[in-house]
Structure 1
């Protein structure tokens, strides 16, 4: 039976789940952990590291270790968010050939979809190990407030990883699916999702298996990374005040501060204070070693980040107002994302909504579980689960004077369509350019341009006489189509808006091929390591048996085998450095045969 895995492609950690026997479950990785760090690194030797292995070496390889790349995916080079990351991230962020963002690791520039594909591929391998077969289809989640370009970039990441992303759903909506799965729920719920890099709030009405999103909003640049940054700034400021040294200018010291900040943040969720100790954090020119040793209290941390917490509550207020509901209309509040473990956040949510948040879902696992539920529903064509989602951003066109005319409002349930009639603005105007935009600003230039086309052949007439109808349509998959029609002649022009990830089709195909080559190499390396492990184990067993036989006074039994044992062990150790699979396999067989011969001799045969 076809299977669709659910993947939460997170800023800090990623997670994969599947529905087995009607029950959604998270699939643990090889280390036994249910989440995997969304970290990618390239070592000096050119080896690719993903997950915990990449995170573990970040201090000594900060320049070539990428974390929180999800914050950059689908963004334009000239955006303020990209400028912020350039100033604060240790890895090198460069401009791509299509006004997109690339990250330089060693001697190669990686696109953001490519880096995300490496994490997705790791999730795919985790699932493959569990299922015993290669999964090819997935439901992948994104922040509810992601725009079309960011969603397209995520879909391209899936293609590069060898995954057909059959549906992209919003993270809070996925969490709601996990919350309501298999339960008879009739309630209006708020999903408060604060993760490593983004914040979303969604209001849903759940009734008889129908998950109807009433409104959604968020901030794609507000999350745990920003809370960590406040601790980093605090530690760096205090250290500079005492020692006149700015640790942020030292890549290795900055990475140590980042690790310490994340650890302190986590500990302060369960303890009133935490010790931060970073010995030998800096060495002066005269060789004097400087150490960072301090205590951070929960109260002090909360004071550092109180404005960030309040930003989330203001977004909640706006979203609730958009839905047309009052706080008292919310039956349950669901917390999702690792940052919601912070007591101050839980208190702020409780104070605003007037009720204690529900603890019925796991903050780190709910999103992946919900994605798996959606995947299972797509396979089975189940009527038990029906998801009615919304478009997170307003859609419209640029009008005369640089204004933005909204045709489809944010939070409109999709699929949907809407049209509006415009008139010409100049005498004898024979064509009109339709510029399609997405965003909330009344100024066209401040919104995201999705595409443009020209309707020509209009009749010559005074300004305001020729009427043109512009119609927008959004499918259930979020595909935007725009049509312009001259109402008098019926002449029309239309486009299907194709958002861009900043990659051409040729680039995507090249990345797919490179990825396939990497998988072949990875499989070969795993086989080499497996055979090397066999050889090491057999050599140890052979040496122990030989030593035990001699110590028991039965060394004479091995006289005729001594030379063969010595030669085989030497050859085996030499072969361990080889990358020749055939040589290693032959060596493994040879040393195994020698071991059998020694066993037989030791038994007196």
Structure 2
């Protein structure tokens, strides 16, 4: 049976897990950390860095280090969120060929799914190193409020990373799976998920025999820890400008240092009342005088700065409870997910709204990946008794005459589902209708996204309102939307499968898959070479250490002198194989080195 990994592709950090002998387990990376920064960088030499190694060099290579790419995934270039990121990012964001978003690193432009694929590829490598076997199947999580294009972009990223994405599931739902796994709970819970870049709230009913039913979900895909950091950065920039009349935002390296310091201060203020931000030599003045930034920030200042953001999450919770037609006292447990829920003010606000202390029994950084792994195991193994009933986070419908949105599938409808409505022609003698399939994005009246369109032709000429057209929307378990329209009189129909787009063409995805494969082959052979080089260099050092003693013992005989000369040749050949980076040569020289080392050790041992 294929192993399925669960990946939480986060804005700030990512995490990978597996179900091993029935137990969900988070897989640590090589450094022993359970989470890996979702950061990608390209060095001056053109080398790709992912994770901790990318984060460590972010300050000195700010322009070529990408963080928080998830906030851009699946978005159009002209969206307000992208415009915001262009202004605040230390790396360059440019318009792509399909009005999509591209990120410029050194001389290349990368699509956002490509950047995310690099992070997913790293997660895959972490899992393969841990399991000592190759992994191809994965369940990847996304914010519950992601739209179809954003979900498709994550699927594309998985595909580019060489993964067969067997299911995309919502992060709060995954957290609930991990919370209820193997416990036979029967309760109504709320999952409050405030991560690095996104916010979700989901209300779920956990039933007997492993039934997880989502009642309602809502969120904001541009509200998270990054926004809290941005407010601290604004506060620091403003006070520095008042002191020195210099805007630190104009310097990319200074901006990256501010980002690091803001995130660190925010985290520290979860456990202390105040902390000092000290950034020496942050910038030079016009008179070439080095300036330093030194500020003390208190928890109270942070809470005042961020209160609006916290209240935005509470307002979304309030709306979700109204949509679900539930009272607060019906919620039996509240689960906190995402690093931002460590902030005391966030915990207070959640406890205040739900009128109960949140559950402390899950790990906010790991629970989503664990839930994804549980779902993955359930999909390939029938022994896992688990039924997951999720909902559609956005309402779907068509745009009718006069730009009126006619809803067919309401937000929070359990999927799979199908709905039908009858419409009539809006003009006399109308022989064709254009069906515009729309998705409602937010609370604003004009907040829509066009998912697809098609035309139903050959309608009977008649006064307006007399020809009836039946429109049907269907959503399957994978969230794929099919829309059909039928002339009620003739039975003639037309349909469309709404294929969400990440902004990439099939050819682009194929090329990206190939280049990702090449990178993996190169990386694996480079890792193999490094391991062989280390082994060879250890033996070389050991032989060179024993050389003086061996020479003294065997110098008297011709045979001994020949053996010493042969050992010298082996050392020389091994060093030259390492220098030429020839893996096969290094391997064969390592065998010769091992034989020489055994002989030298034998000689030295006899003389002792």
| The two structures share one fold, judged by TM-score above 0.5 | yes
Residue pairs, 1:51-200, within 5 angstroms: 51-200=51-200
Q: How far apart, CA to CA, are the structure 2 residues paired with 1:578 and 1:37? A: 34
Task: Give me the whole-angstrom Cα distance separating, in 1, the residues matched to 2:70 and 2:340.
Answer: 17
Instruction: Rate the CA distance shift 1:54–1:443 in 2: closer, same or farther, 3 A.
Output: closer
Provide the C-alpha distance between the structure 2 equivalents of 1:285 and 1:575, rounded to a whole number of angstroms: 53
Q: Which residue is 1:230 aligned to?
A: 231
Q: Is 2:550 aligned against 1:540?
A: no
Per the alignment, do residues 37 and 443 of structure 1 end up closer, same or farther by CA in structure 2, a change over 3 Å counting?
closer
Equivalences for residues 193-592 of structure 1 within 5 A: 193-208=193-208, 209-382=210-383, 384-440=385-441, 446-546=447-547, 563=565, 568-592=570-594
Contact 1:113 1:154 in 2 (8 A): yes
Q: Tell me the distance in 2 between the aligned counterparts of 1:383 and 1:529.
A: 41
For residues 422-455 of structure 1, give each alpha carbon's deviation from its aligned partner in whole angstroms, at most 9, with x where no partner exists. 1111111100000101015698863111100000
Q: Partners of 1:165 and 1:128 in 2: how far apart?
A: 16
Take 1:555 and 1:279, find their aligned partners in 2: how far apart are those partners?
61
How far apart, in 2, do the equivalents of 1:234 and 1:412 lie?
A: 42
Moved more, 503-512 or 315-324: 503-512
Q: Distance in 2 between matches of 1:385 and 1:214?
A: 17
> What's the offset of the Cα at 1:255?
0.7
**Whole-Å separation in 1 of the counterparts to 2:548 and 2:464:** 101
Asked whether the equivalents of residues 393 and 411 of structure 1 are also in contact (C-alpha less than 8 Å), the reply is: yes
When residues 445 and 451 of structure 1 are mapped into structure 2, their CA distance, relative to the original with a 3 A threshold, is farther
* 1:287 partner SS: coil
The Cα of 1:582 is off from its aligned counterpart by 2.8
Asked if 1:8 corresponds to 2:8, the answer is yes
Of the structure 1 ranges 393-402 and 291-300, higher mean CA displacement relative to structure 2 is found in: 291-300
**CA distance in structure 2 between the partners assigned to 1:163 and 1:376 by the alignment:** 16
Q: Say if 1:578 and 1:584, in contact at 8 Å, map to a contact too.
A: no
1:99 Cα shift?
A: 1.4
Distance 1:238 1:559, change over 3 A: farther
SS of the residue 1:449 aligns to: strand
Shift in alpha-carbon separation, 1:282–1:140, aligned structure 2, 3 A: same
Instruction: Give SS of 1:93's match.
Output: strand
> 2:67, 2:169 → 1: CA distance?
23
Instruction: Give TM-score scaled by structure 1 length.
Output: 0.96
Distance 2:384 2:586 in 1: 55
Secondary structure in 2 aligned to 1:489? coil
Would you say the 8 A contact 1:485–1:493 is kept in 2? yes
Contact 2:276 2:296 in 1 (8 A): yes
Query: What is the CA–CA distance in structure 2 between the aligned matches of 1:442 and 1:80, rounded to whole Å?
Result: 16
Q: Deviations over 1:152-202 (max 9, x none)?
A: 111111111111111111000000000000112111100000000000000
**Deviation for aligned residue 1:237:** 1.4
Alpha-carbon distance in structure 2 between the residues aligned to 1:272 and 1:568:
63
1:25-52: CA deviation from partner (whole Å, max 9, x where unpaired): 1111111111111111111111111110
Query: CA 1:123/1:440 → structure 2, altered by over 3 Å: closer, same or farther?
Result: closer
Aligned pair in 2 of structure 1 residues 190, 41: CA closer, same or farther (>3 Å)?
same
Q: What is the rounded CA distance, in whole Å, between the counterparts of 1:547 and 1:317 in structure 2?
A: 80
Q: 442-451 or 22-31, which moves further after superposition?
A: 442-451
Q: Distance in 2 between matches of 1:443 and 1:458?
A: 35
Cα distance in structure 2, aligned partners of 1:547 and 1:335: 65
Cα distance in 2 between the residues matched to 1:146 and 1:548: 69
The CA RMSD over aligned residues, in Å, is: 1.9
- Deviates further, 432-441 or 55-64: 432-441
Counterpart contact for 1:18–1:24, Cα < 8 Å: yes
Deviation at 1:474, TM superposition (A): 0.6
Cα distance in structure 2, aligned partners of 1:248 and 1:115: 25
Q: Is the 8 A contact 2:174 2:370 kept in 1?
A: yes
Shift of 1:380: 1.9
The separation in 2 between residues aligned to 1:197 and 1:577, in whole angstroms, is 45
Aligned to 1:37: 37
Deviation at 1:384, TM superposition (A): 2.7
Check the 8 A contact 2:377/2:384 in 1, yes or no: no
Instruction: Give 1:274 shift.
Output: 1.3
Change beyond 3 A, Cα 1:440–1:516: closer
Separation of aligned partners in 2, 1:284 and 1:260 = 21
Whole-angstrom CA distance in 2 between matches of 1:139 and 1:120: 11
Shift of 1:401: 1.2
Question: Is the 2:192–2:334 Cα contact (8 Å) retained in structure 1?
Answer: yes
Hey, what's the Cα distance between the residues in 2 that align with 1:45 and 1:446?
44
* Other-structure match for 2:604: 602
The answer as to whether partners of 2:13 and 2:36 remain within 8 angstroms in 1 is yes
Separation of aligned partners in 1, 2:50 and 2:314: 35
* Maintained 8 Å contact 1:404/1:441: no
The whole-number CA distance in structure 2 between the counterparts of 1:566 and 1:262 is 55
Q: Distance in 2 between matches of 1:11 and 1:342?
A: 17
Distance 1:384 1:441 in 2: 35
Judge conservation of contact 1:141–1:371 (CA < 8 Å) in 2. Answer: yes
SS of the residue corresponding to residue 5 of structure 1 reads: strand
Structure 2 unaligned residues grouped into runs of 5+: none
Gaps of 5+ in 1: none
The alignment partner of 2:464 has SS state of coil
Matched residue count: 603
